[in-house]
Amino acid sequence: MSMDIITRKEALEKGLHLYFTGKPCKRGHICERTAKGGCVDCNKIKELARQSKEKFLGIKRSSEWSKANPVKNRKKSNRWIKNNPEKVSHMKRRGNGLPDPERPYPVDGKCECCNLEEPIRIKRTGKIRSLSLDHCHKTGKFRGWLCYKCNSIAGKSNEEIDRLSSLVAYLKSFYGEN
């Protein structure tokens, strides 16, 4: 598509919003110019810079407001957390380097290892524990949903199958089982 070369004066007389001179602007762009002034590329760059500055100032203002209003900010954050549980759990998993689960949280709330139902209350802290997302620490691949105890045993054993087998044999010998 070839553009007709026209001066700004001619463009204004014809009521055109854009025109093409064929000459580079002061920044070296050879493109259409606006009748209000400036080349199209320069105007795009200026607009992006303005948007970036506004975004930065918006973040800065938001940060200043958060510091000046800690109680309101905490309430606002808690409300968002309550209204967005899926986003929160995804952010926690990503923050901890955990994979996204390949299957949903069990509806019955049972551990995939011992088949006991969660949640349980931890006596020491009083916190209620739900099933943990179990994953391979070498590959990062999701394995399943485990209760607190099963997940702790797997983690403390460094996922060494021989160690776990030895522990099972030891416990069986103590209780006289084969």
Q: Is 167 found in the same domain as 113?
A: yes
Q: Is 110 found in the same domain as 53?
A: no
The pLDDT value given to residue 33: 92
User: Sign (positive/negative) of CA torsion 12, 17, 23, 27?
Assistant: positive
Q: Is 163 found in the same domain as 107?
A: yes
In a domain? residue 3: no
In a domain? residue 92: no
For residue 33, the tally of other CB atoms under 10 A from its CB is: 22
Q: Is 116 found in the same domain as 57?
A: no
Structure tokens at 86: 């899926």
In a domain? residue 33: yes
In a domain? residue 91: no
In a domain? residue 117: yes
Rg of the chain over CA atoms, in angstroms? 32
Query: Higher confidence at residue 147 or residue 92?
Result: 147
Q: Is 164 found in the same domain as 110?
A: yes
In a domain? residue 116: yes
Q: Is 118 found in the same domain as 57?
A: no
Structure tokens at 8: 């700004």
In a domain? residue 115: yes
The pLDDT value given to residue 1: 42
Q: Is 171 found in the same domain as 108?
A: yes
Strand partners, 19: 33
User: Sign (positive/negative) of CA torsion 152, 157, 161, 164?
Assistant: negative
Instruction: Read off the DSSP letter of residue 103.
Output: S
CA distance 77 to 69: 12
The pLDDT value given to residue 79: 92
Q: Is 163 found in the same domain as 115?
A: yes
Total domains, the chain: 2
Domain with 150, as residue range(s), is 102-175
CA distance 23 to 32: 10
Percentage of the residues of the chain whose pLDDT score is greater than 70: 88
The CATH number for 132's domain is 3.40.1800.10
Q: Is 107 found in the same domain as 49?
A: no
Question: pLDDT-based confidence at 36, cuts 50/70/90?
Answer: confident
Which DSSP string do the residues of 135-158 spell out, in sequence order? E-TTT--EEEEE-HHHHHHHHHTT
In a domain? residue 39: yes
For the whole model, what pTM was predicted? 0.42
What amino acid occupies position 66?
S
Q: Is 117 found in the same domain as 52?
A: no
Chain segment 134-167, per-residue pLDDT in tens: 888 778 788 888 888 888 888 888 888 888 888 8
